[in-house]
């Protein structure tokens, strides 16, 4: 495919569709929504309003890093602090599907739905890619209809339009478009990070304290394992606890799992055979985090495990 021509074509399609209207999009910092943001901005300039929703579930410094990466490209991003909404929606939930639903509903209905209405935008730019559509059709993914997710009935509420400029591309194509658009390498080659973010890496209840712990463990794993160039590497906080001993005192502490996998398309995965030296270093740093006294390395391939823990 001629990706330069693709970019020009999409810019002109977005301009034509939106006319002199206003569009809005939600940026997560992932490659799909980043490409949509850059394309939309080239097409519409400041008539595209881009929001980054801070859900409290992001990695260390992520809202600011995403904001700054786009500011460097002269693309303004509004960081919306919705941490309290997400923490309230997740309080008391331990079932994985209930947790995922809480994050999705809070994102689309409570927060983004409100922002769309307040913005006066009638066009939504969305980073749906071909794989999302195929997986929805095959019943692997839940329905991907963004208006329905926003609680907007297009029949009742006239005037809302969804534009999905990446709907004919797969991930490798999106990365090519990212390069044409001049997005930095750290965005175009970013390791996959799930929509429900750190909530997929906490077994049991998601609280501010447990998020802080998994966030700190994620920093360690990302720093230590970046050089593996594995498909994904991250930390998970278990619900179980284990007895340990620290400063001569027994303590009933937290257990953190480290996962590092090879994969091509996330449908299958195998654990990376990390050197003992690396594993020991990671372990030592993880058990120095407050209250953690066990660090485990996950050797399970997918299948039967999934990549994430919820
Ligand atoms: P699993 O855990 O199902 O993950 O083996 C497969 C790949 O998908 C990512 N993942 C998600 N990505 N929204 C996303 O955008 C989600 O809800 C979600 N759940 C899992 C996961 O990180 C892995 O790369």
Q: Which residues of the chain have pLDDT under 50?
A: none
Q: Is the CB of 184 under 6 A from ligand 1?
A: no
Helix (H, G, I), strand (E, B), or coil: what is residue 234? strand
pLDDT in tens, 229-266: 999 999 999 999 999 999 999 999 999 999 999 999 89
Q: Is the CB of 232 under 6 A from ligand 1?
A: yes
pLDDT value of residue 160? 85
Q: Is the CB of 195 under 6 A from ligand 1?
A: yes
Q: Is the CB of 268 under 6 A from ligand 1?
A: no
Query: 87 exposed, middle or buried (CB, 10 Å; 0-12, 13-18, 19+)?
Result: middle
Structure tokens at 268: 């299958």
Q: How many helices (H) and strands (E) does the chain have?
A: 12, 9
> What is the pTM (predicted TM-score) of this model?
0.94
Q: List the Cα angle 67/108/121 in 5-degree steps.
A: 70
In order, the DSSP letters of 143-206 are: ---HHHHTT--TTTSTT-EEE-TTTT--HHHHHHHHHHTT--HHHHTPPP--TTGGGGGBSS--
Cβ atoms of 29 and 66 closer than 8 Å = yes
Residue with CA nearest ligand 1 atom 9 = 194
In order, the DSSP letters of 55-103 are: -S-SPTTHHHHHHHHHHTTT---EEEE-HHHHHHHHTT--SHHHHHHHH
Q: 270: Cβ–Cβ under 8 A, 6 or more apart, which residues?
A: 261, 262, 263, 301
pLDDT value of residue 133? 85
pLDDT value of residue 144? 64
Cβ atoms of 162 and 122 closer than 8 Å = no
Q: List the Cα angle 180/47/40 in 5-degree steps.
A: 20
| 231 CA closest ligand 1 atom index | 24
Q: Is the CB of 194 under 6 A from ligand 1?
A: yes
């Amino acid at each position: 495919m001629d990706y330069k021509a693709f970019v020009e074509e999409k810019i002109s399609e977005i301009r034509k569709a939106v006319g002199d209207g206003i569009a809005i999009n939600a940026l997560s910092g992932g490659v799909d929504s980043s490409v949509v943001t850059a394309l939309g901005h080239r097409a519409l300039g400041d008539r595209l309003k881009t929001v980054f929703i801070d859900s409290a579930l992001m990695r260390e410094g992520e809202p600011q890093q995403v904001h700054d990466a786009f500011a460097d490209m002269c693309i303004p991003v509004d960081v919306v602090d919705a941490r309290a909404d997400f923490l309230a929606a997740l309080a008391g939930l331990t079932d994985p599907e209930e947790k995922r639903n809480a994050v999705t509903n809070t994102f689309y209905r409570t927060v983004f739905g409100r922002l769309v209405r307040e913005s006066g935008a009638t066009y939504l730019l969305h980073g749906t890619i071909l794989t999302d559509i195929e997986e929805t059709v095959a019943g692997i993914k839940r329905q991907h209809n963004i208006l329905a997710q926003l609680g907007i009935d297009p029949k009742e509420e006239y005037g809302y339009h969804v534009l999905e400029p990446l709907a004919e591309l797969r991930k490798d194509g999106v990365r090519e478009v990212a390069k044409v658009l001049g997005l930095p390498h750290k965005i175009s080659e970013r390791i996959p990070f799930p929509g429900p973010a750190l909530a997929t890496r906490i077994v049991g209840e998601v609280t501010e304290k447990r998020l802080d712990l998994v966030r700190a463990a994620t920093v360690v794993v990302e720093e230590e394992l970046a050089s593996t160039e594995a498909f994904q590497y991250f930390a998970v906080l278990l619900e179980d606890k284990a007895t340990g001993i620290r400063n001569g005192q027994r303590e009933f502490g937290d257990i953190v799992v480290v996962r590092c996998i090879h994969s091509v398309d996330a449908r299958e995965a195998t654990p990376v055979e990390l050197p003992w030296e690396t594993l020991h270093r990671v372990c030592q740093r993880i058990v120095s985090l407050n209250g953690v006294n066990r660090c485990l390395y996950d050797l399970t391939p997918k299948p039967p495990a999934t990549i994430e823990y919820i």
